[in-house]
C-alpha cells in the first residue's frame, strides 16, 4: 500500500490544477487517471483569458510548442440563416488542442502519477480512503469528469442524466483543405439550432478544424448535427469528406450536478462537481478555478479533513456561481428562449453585448479571497 496526503482522481484541467497547487502547499499528492497522456478529450478547445490568468500561463512560451490560436472576432447566427460578424481590437479568447493542453497542465503539476489506472474500488478504512487496494490517503479529490467514481460515491447516485449532449470532431486539414476552408482562423463561428435548444460551432486553429454541436439532450442530436454539417459544407466552411466520425460526450452544467460537493475527507471539482457555465457550456475555467480553490481549502484544513473544515469550498462556489437549486438545462440559449428568441440573434447589439461579451467571454468567475 502506498500512502499519500491526498489522492486526486482525474488528470484533466481540474485534477491537474488542484494537484499542482496541493504540491505547492507542500502536500504529498498522487494523481490517478485511467487514460495514458497525451489523451484526447471531446471539446471545442476554446479558452478565455480568465483561464490564462488563473493558470498563470505564459502564452508566448506555450505557443512556441503547442497550437495556440488567438480569436479576435466571431460569426454568429442561426443554422442556415444570416450571419453577423463582431470583431475586437485584440484577442479575446484562444483556441487550444485538448490533447496538448491537458498534457501540458499535467506535466506542469509535477506530482506523482498513476496513469492508465482506472479507479475501480474506493473503500474507507479507519481514517483513510483506499483506492484499488493499492493507494491510500485521508483526503480524496474527485476530478474524474461527468462519470467520476468519487462523485458517485459522494452523491450516492449511480448515474445522473446528463444535461448537455455533444458531438465533436477535430482533425488536421490537408494543405488543399486548409486552402479551401472558408473559416478564418481568428474568427470562430457559432450557430444556434432553430429550436434554440443548442448550438453548433466551427473553430479553426491554424491548420486544425474543430466542428461540433451540443444540445440539451441526446434527442435529435445526430440529425441536427447532420443538417449543420451539410450547411457548412454548402458554404465551403468544412471539407466534403471528414476524415472520421464524430465523438460524443455528455456533461452537466452548474445547477444540475451533484448537490453535495464535499463530504468527510472528500471533495469534487470541475465536471465531477457539475460546474460548466449554463450560458456557454464553458467548463475549463470552472475546472481550473475550482481545482485551485479546492487546493487552498484542503491546505487550510491542515490534515483535519472533516466536512466542516472544507465548508469554505461550497460556500465560495455558491457565491461565485449563485445558488444551484434548480437544474438549468441548456447551453447558451436559456436567456434567448426566455427573451425575444430567434429575432435577438439578428441584432448586432445583442450578439455583441449579451451573447458574446456577457455569456461567452466574461462569465462569472470564482475570485477566492486571500
Ligand atoms: C463537445 C464539448 C465541447 C466543449 N467545449 C468547451 C470549450 O470550448 N471550452 C471550455 O471551457 N469547455 C468546453 N467543454 C467543457 C470541458 O470540456 C469540460 O468542462 C472540462 O474538460 C472539465 O475538466 P475536468 O478536469 O473536470 O474533467 P475532464 O477533462 O473530463 O477530465 C476527467 C479525467 O478523469 C479521468 N477519469 C474518469 N473516470 C476515471 C476513473 N474511474 N478512474 C481514473 N480516471 C478517471 C478521465 O480519463 C479524464 O482524464 C466542452 C465539452 C464538450 C462535451
Q: What is the pLDDT of residues 57-87, one digit of tens each?
A: 999 999 999 999 999 999 999 898 888 999 9
Question: Is the link from the previous residue into 38 a cis peptide, with omega within 30 of 0?
Answer: yes
How far away, in angstroms, is 284 Cα from ligand 1 center?
8
Q: What is the largest CA-CA distance in the chain?
A: 63
**Residue tagged 470532431 (cell numbers):** 169
Q: Is 60 within a domain?
A: yes
The mean-pLDDT minimum among 11-15, 217-221, 306-310 falls in 217-221
Inside any domain, residue 46: yes
Which pLDDT score, from 0 to 100, does residue 213 have?
94
The contacts found for 33-36 with CB under 8 angstroms, 24 or more apart, are 33/9, 33/113, 33/114, 33/115, 33/116, 33/117, 34/116, 34/117, 34/118, 34/119, 35/11, 35/115, 35/116, 36/115, 36/116
Q: Half-sphere exposure (CA, 13 Å, Cβ side) for 143?
A: 34
Taking the C-alpha atoms of residue 152 and residue 272, their distance in angstroms, rounded to an integer, is 9
Question: Which pLDDT score, from 0 to 100, does residue 15 have?
Answer: 98
Number of domains, the chain: 1
Identify the band that residue 331 occupies on the pLDDT scale cut at 50, 70 and 90: very low
Question: End-to-end CA distance of the chain, in Å?
Answer: 37
Q: For residue 83, what are the β-bridge partners?
A: 77
Mean pLDDT rounded to a whole number for the chain: 88
Of 144, 159, 360, best ligand 1 pocket probe by most atoms within 8 Å of the beta carbon: 144
Q: Supply the pLDDT for residue 326.
A: 47
Residue in 31, 164, 271, 359 to alter for ligand 1 test, most ligand atoms within 8 A of Cβ: 271
**CA nearest neighbour of 291 among 258, 274, 268:** 268
Q: Which is the closest atom of ligand 1 to the Cα of 46? A: 8
| All three cell numbers of 256 | 444540475
Tell whether the model's pLDDT for residue 258 goes beyond 80.
no
Q: Checking DSSP bridges between strand 68-71 and strand 189-192, what pairing results, if any?
A: unpaired
Higher pLDDT, 279 or 201: 201
Q: Which domain holds residue 60?
A: 2-71+94-160+253-321
Ligand 1 atom with minimal separation from the 45 CA: 8
Mean pLDDT to the nearest integer, 137-151: 95
Q: Are 305 and 139 in contact (CB under 8 A)?
A: yes
Residue 61 inside a domain? The answer is yes
Residues 347/267, Cβ–Cβ less than 8 Å: no
Distance 273 CA to ligand 1 centre (A): 11
Q: How much of the chain, in percent, has pLDDT values that exceed 90?
A: 65
CA of 289 to the centre of ligand 1 (A): 14
pLDDT at 274 over 80: yes
pLDDT band, residue 96 (cuts 50/70/90) = very high
Mean pLDDT for the stretch of residues 12-35: 98
Which of these ranges, 154-163, 219-228, 345-354, has the smallest mean pLDDT?
A: 154-163
Q: What is the band of 233 on the pLDDT scale with cuts at 50, 70, 90?
A: very high
Q: Residues 45-49: what's their mean pLDDT? A: 94
Residue 39 has pLDDT above 90, yes or no: yes
Q: Is the pLDDT of residue 310 over 90?
A: yes
The pLDDT of residue 330 is above 50: no
- Cα 82 to ligand 1 centroid, rounded to whole Å: 33
Closest ligand 1 atom number to CA of residue 273? 26
Residue 317 within any structural domain of the chain:
yes
Percent of the chain whose pLDDT exceeds 70: 88
Does any domain span residue 144? yes
* Local confidence band at 329 (pLDDT 50, 70, 90 cut-offs): very low
Determine the average pLDDT of the residues in 304-323. 89
Note the pLDDT of residue 280: 78
* pLDDT category of residue 369 using cuts at 50, 70 and 90: very low
The confidence band for 275, taking pLDDT boundaries of 50, 70 and 90, is confident
Query: Distance from the CA of 169 to the center of ligand 1, in angstroms?
Result: 15
pLDDT of residue 95: 97
Side-chain half-sphere CA neighbours of 234 within 13 A: 9
Pocket test for ligand 1, best of 7, 10, 143, 170 (most atoms within 8 A of CB): 10
Q: Which residues line ligand 1 (CB under 6 A)?
A: 9-15, 32-35, 41-46, 118-119, 143-145, 147-149, 166, 168, 212, 214, 249, 251, 270-272, 276, 281-285, 287
Domain assignment present for 270: yes
Is residue 304 pLDDT above 50, yes or no? yes
Q: Is the pLDDT of residue 287 over 90?
A: yes
Asked if residue 214 has pLDDT above 70, the reply is: yes
Instruction: Kindly give the distance from the C-alpha atom of residue 23 to the centroid of ligand 1, in angstroms, as a whole number.
Output: 22
- Confirm whether 129 is domain-assigned: yes
Output the domain CATH number for residue 108: 3.50.50.60
Q: Ligand 1 atom closest to Cα of 117?
A: 43
Asked, for residue 326, whether it belongs to a domain, the answer is no
Question: Which residue lies with its CA nearest to atom 36 of ligand 1?
Answer: 144
Which residues, including other chains, have CB under 8 Å from residue 332's CB and lie 6 or more apart? 192, 198, 199, 279, 280, 281, 355, 359, 360
Q: For residue 254, what pLDDT band results from cuts at 50, 70 and 90?
A: low
Residue with grid cell 476524415, as numbered in its chain: 243
Mean of pLDDT values over 339-367: 71
Q: How far is the centre of ligand 1, averaged over its atoms, from the C-alpha of 90 (Å)?
A: 28
With a cut of 60, say whether residue 334 has pLDDT above it.
no
**Span from the CA of 192 to the centroid of ligand 1 (angstroms):** 23
Give me the half-sphere count of Cα atoms (radius 13 Å) on the Cβ side of residue 290: 35
Does the pLDDT value for residue 158 go beyond 50?
no
pTM listed for this prediction: 0.91
Amino acid at each position: 500500500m502506498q500512502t499519500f496526503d491526498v489522492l486526486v482522481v482525474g488528470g484533466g484541467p481540474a485534477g491537474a490544477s488542484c494537484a499542482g497547487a496541493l504540491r505547492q502547499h507542500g502536500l504529498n499528492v498522487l494523481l490517478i487517471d485511467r487514460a495514458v497522456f497525451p489523451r484526447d478529450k471531446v471539446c471545442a478547445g476554446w479558452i478565455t483569458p480568465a483561464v490564462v490568468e488563473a493558470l498563470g500561463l505564459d502564452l508566448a512560451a506555450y505557443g512556441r510548442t503547442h497550437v495556440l490560436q488567438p480569436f479576435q472576432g466571431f460569426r454568429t447566427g442561426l443554422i442556415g440563416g444570416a450571419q453577423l460578424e463582431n470583431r475586437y481590437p485584440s484577442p479575446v479568447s484562444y483556441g487550444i488542442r485538448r490533447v496538448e493542453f491537458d498534457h501540458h497542465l499535467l506535466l506542469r503539476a509535477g506530482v506523482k502519477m498513476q496513469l492508465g489506472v482506472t479507479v475501480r474500488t474506493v473503500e474507507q478504512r479507519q481514517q483513510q480512503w483506499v483506492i484499488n487496494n493499492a493507494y491510500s490517503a485521508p483526503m480524496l479529490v474527485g476530478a474524474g469528469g461527468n462519470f467520476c467514481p468519487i462523485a458517485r460515491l459522494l452523491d450516492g447516485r449511480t448515474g445522473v442524466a446528463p444535461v448537455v449532449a455533444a458531438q465533436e470532431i477535430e482533425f488536421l486539414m490537408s494543405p488543399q483543405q486548409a486552402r479551401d476552408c472558408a473559416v478564418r482562423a481568428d474568427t470562430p463561428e457559432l450557430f444556434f439550432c432553430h429550436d434554440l435548444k443548442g448550438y453548433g460551432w466551427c473553430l479553426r486553429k491554424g491548420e486544425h478544424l474543430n466542428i461540433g454541436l451540443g444540445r440539451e439532450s441526446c434527442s435529435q442530436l445526430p440529425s441536427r448535427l447532420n443538417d449543420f454539417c451539410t450547411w457548412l459544407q454548402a458554404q465551403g466552411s468544412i471539407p466534403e469528406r471528414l476524415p472520421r466520425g464524430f465523438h460524443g460526450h455528455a456533461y452537466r452544467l452548474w445547477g444540475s450536478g451533484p448537490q453535495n460537493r464535499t463530504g468527510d475527507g472528500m471533495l469534487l471539482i470541475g465536471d465531477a462537481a457539475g460546474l460548466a457555465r449554463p450560458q456557454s457550456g464553458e467548463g475549463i475555467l470552472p475546472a481550473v478555478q475550482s481545482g485551485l480553490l479546492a487546493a487552498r481549502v484542503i491546505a487550510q484544513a491542515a490534515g483535519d479533513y472533516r466536512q466542516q473544515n472544507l465548508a469554505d469550498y461550497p460556500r465560495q462556489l455558491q457565491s461565485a456561481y449563485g445558488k444551484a437549486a434548480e437544474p438549468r438545462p441548456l447551453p447558451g440559449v436559456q436567456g434567448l428562449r426566455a427573451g425575444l428568441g430567434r429575432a435577438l440573434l439578428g441584432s448586432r447589439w445583442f450578439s455583441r453585448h449579451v451573447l458574446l461579451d456577457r455569456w461567452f467571454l466574461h462569465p462569472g468567475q470564482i475570485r477566492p479571497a486571500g
